[in-house]
Structure 1
Amino acid sequence: MSSPSTPGAGTSRAGPAADVGRWFSTAAPRPAGASAPTSARGPRLPAWGPMVGAEYGRRSPASEVTAALELLRDRPVAVLTGAGMSTGSGLPDYRGRDAVPRSPMTYQEFMGHDLARRRYWARSTVGWEQFGRARPGRAHRLLAALDPAAFPVTAVITQNVDALHAAAGSDPVIDLHGRLDRVRCQQCDALSSRAALHARLLMMNPELAARLPQLAADAAQAPDGDAEVDRTSSFRYPPCALCGGILKPDVVFFGESARRETVSAAFAALAAAEALLVLGSSLTVQSGLRFVRAAGRAGQDVVILNDGPTRADPAATLRLHGRLEDVLASWADATGAVAAR
């Protein structure tokens, strides 16, 4: 792919998409037995990886799947999605059965350490063209088709940063944690294209550019922290062209808050709904969990569908287990929704 652009553009996909979680791993391997990092706000950050003792692979009976559809049918619904939504597109999740354990990079680490920024931009430069091959999966397409055949969707509030909901046709989409196809200056707040930055990074790092396929293969196969690209401490990255500030992907890092206007839009979409449907999220972090709690306070029904436990299971009106594609397909069949399969 010679000119990566907004993820989801195009019609074909070659090979697995990049493991975006690697880009956000902590800048230096942590010694054995060392504690997890803390953000400036205090709480200890959870490591990514499968949840200990969790039951994966469970499937809800057809009667429960049908009951959930009847609960939501013909009512305005806000939809909250997580990483499990995009596994069918080749993007790995962070706490599912097959998640790779690693410790997340914090906003404070990225902003405070040049080495962390070098490591991030080196990793993402190697993986970006792969990431650009990701296409909406069946779950994305089915969800878009269910609105309004099964229920009108006030908004898809997604914790993902891949822009695949919009590419599948969902509208409106609220990117709670931002989008990887954009870059934001941390000083003047200017937005720019990640694709344009990618071209510039390759020009600034010709040795890496010449070895891009080899490094991409190495990064895909090596254990976390062992890929050769992780040792590229000489990697160069540019400042903001307008003010000289630090450029950062327009996504929310651990220890950083989502943009206020984005959160307000998400809560407005929830307020306009009668129910909340959660798809593919463990709700481990407060960023997503707060919407379930807000729905509960408002007396709204909450339906959660996820493979593996979620932090909000006790708060669910109905809790479904299974593959997103299977449940959404059964709802599409029951309501006559049509989606490209």
Structure 2
Amino acid sequence: MQGNVEEAIDIARGGRILAVTGAGMSTDSSLPDYRGTGSTPTTPVDVDMFTSDPVWYRWLWYRNEATWKILENCQPNDGHRALATMEASGHLLGVSTQNVDRLDARAGTRNVWELHGRYDTVECLSCGSVTSRAALSVRLRALNPDLVEETDPAHVDITPDARRDLAEVCTFTPAYCERCGGMLKPSIVMFGEGLPESAFGPSLDMAASCNVVLVAGTSLAVSTGLWVVHEAMRAGASLIVVNRGATAVDRFADVRIEGGTSEVLPQIATALTS
């Protein structure tokens, strides 16, 4: 049903809330919502392409290096801070997010389960060693001193489109693991990869124990978050949806609010903590 903030507050009050969030949470931090209203469909480099063809390995790291600091420089918005406030007051169990931008953690939320990984670390596909993205950037800049860094959030390209025409003429020099010489991959879930159990398992556990699931800033077009929401609904949780545009679970919602998360969530947080 279509509802208002007061109805959402009534449902959330006294509840054990699990937030399931997506890219719409971060649009007011200037990051694009690739699946939101008016977005253009993309076909990113998948994990098989990345690991089997040096052209795609080079292309991904070129675009990643040129744009990753956009995420580093973005700041949490009022929506992120509202969830942190709700957790600190004992109303929110945590956030199960499809975002890789780390803005929930930076806003102060302690229980954040990053279903699609995180942008700020890098892993070796051979030996499993994990290093910081910042440390890798130092190496990549030394190998590519003429690289031009992009600053427009609309161009953030952590896993770029599979543009073969551009990838084949890319002259970027990628880096490899300092420990074993293996291929390096951003610690994000690429298309074709499984979900990290360290995030998916706790998300399902919290879904089974919450009594309110708050869908915020996601259409749930990707099945990852949808699985978590369905688990909560199977366990009998009430459903609140806050999003700009339709979602895959609108017909099941106890309350659906058409609006931005940075506008709506602070109202809920204020009411719950006052």
Alpha-carbon contact 1:292-1:315 (below 8 Å) kept:
no
1:136 matches 2:106: no
Q: For the residues of structure 2 that align with 1:92 and 1:284, how far apart are their CA atoms?
A: 16
Alpha-carbon contact 1:136-1:165 (below 8 Å) kept:
yes
Alpha-carbon contact 1:176-1:262 (below 8 Å) kept:
yes
1:109 matches 2:49: yes
Q: For the residues of structure 1 that align with 2:268 and 2:198, how far apart are their CA atoms?
A: 33
Give 2:126's match in structure 1, choosing from 179, 187, 208. Answer: 187
Give the secondary structure class of the aligned counterpart of 1:132: helix
Give the secondary structure class of the aligned counterpart of 2:73: coil
Report the alpha carbon displacement of residue 137 of structure 1 after superposing the two structures with TM: 1.1
Q: What is residue 33 of structure 2 aligned with on the other side? A: 93
* 1:114-129 to 2 correspondences below 5 Å: 114-129=54-69
1:246 matches 2:207: no
Q: What is residue 195 of structure 2 aligned with on the other side? A: 258
Report the alpha carbon displacement of residue 332 of structure 1 after superposing the two structures with TM: 3.3
Q: For the residues of structure 1 that align with 2:175 and 2:237, how far apart are their CA atoms?
A: 47
Report the alpha carbon displacement of residue 206 of structure 1 after superposing the two structures with TM: 2.0
Q: What is residue 310 of structure 1 aligned with on the other side? A: 247
Report the alpha carbon displacement of residue 297 of structure 1 after superposing the two structures with TM: 1.5
Report the alpha carbon displacement of residue 229 of structure 1 after superposing the two structures with TM: 7.8
1:197 matches 2:119: no
Q: What is residue 293 of structure 1 aligned with on the other side? A: 230
1:330 matches 2:267: yes
* 1:205-216 to 2 correspondences below 5 Å: 205-208=144-147, 212-213=148-149
Q: What is residue 218 of structure 2 aligned with on the other side? A: 281
Instruction: List structure 1 segments (4+ residues) > 4 angstroms apart after TM superposition.
Output: 228-232
AA aligned to 1:143 is L
Q: For the residues of structure 2 that align with 1:330 and 1:193, how far apart are their CA atoms?
A: 36
Report the alpha carbon displacement of residue 335 of structure 1 after superposing the two structures with TM: 3.5
Q: What is residue 105 of structure 2 aligned with on the other side? A: 166
Q: For the residues of structure 2 that align with 1:136 and 1:319, how far apart are their CA atoms?
A: 24
Q: For the residues of structure 1 that align with 2:70 and 2:11, how far apart are their CA atoms?
A: 40
Give 1:81's match in structure 2, choosing from 12, 17, 21. Answer: 21
Q: For the residues of structure 2 that align with 1:265 and 1:199, how far apart are their CA atoms?
A: 34
AA aligned to 2:17 is V
TM-score normalised by length of structure 2: 0.89
Report the alpha carbon displacement of residue 216 of structure 1 after superposing the two structures with TM: 5.7
Higher relative contact order (CA 8 A, sep 6+): 2
Q: For the residues of structure 1 that align with 2:195 and 2:131, how far apart are their CA atoms?
A: 18
Report the alpha carbon displacement of residue 273 of structure 1 after superposing the two structures with TM: 1.4
Number of aligned pairs?
Answer: 267
Worse-superposed segment, 92-101 or 198-207: 92-101
Q: For the residues of structure 1 that align with 2:93 and 2:269, how far apart are their CA atoms?
A: 18
Give the secondary structure class of the aligned counterpart of 1:207: coil
Q: For the residues of structure 2 that align with 1:274 and 1:307, how far apart are their CA atoms?
A: 24
Give the secondary structure class of the aligned counterpart of 1:206: coil
Deviations 1:136-164 (A, max 9, x none): 11111122122354x62111111100111
Q: For the residues of structure 2 that align with 1:318 and 1:216, how far apart are their CA atoms?
A: 38
Q: For the residues of structure 2 that align with 1:91 and 1:178, how far apart are their CA atoms?
A: 17
Report the alpha carbon displacement of residue 98 of structure 1 after superposing the two structures with TM: 4.3
Identical amino acids, percent of aligned pairs: 36
TM-score normalised by length of structure 1: 0.72
Structure 1 unmatched runs, 5+: 1-59
Alpha-carbon contact 1:281-1:310 (below 8 Å) kept:
yes
Worse-superposed segment, 280-289 or 313-322: 313-322
Q: What is residue 157 of structure 1 aligned with on the other side? A: 96
Q: For the residues of structure 2 that align with 1:261 and 1:129, how far apart are their CA atoms?
A: 26
AA aligned to 2:186 is P
Give the secondary structure class of the aligned counterpart of 1:258: coil
Report the alpha carbon displacement of residue 220 of structure 1 after superposing the two structures with TM: 4.7
Q: For the residues of structure 2 that align with 1:163 and 1:252, how far apart are their CA atoms?
A: 14
Report the alpha carbon displacement of residue 225 of structure 1 after superposing the two structures with TM: 8.6
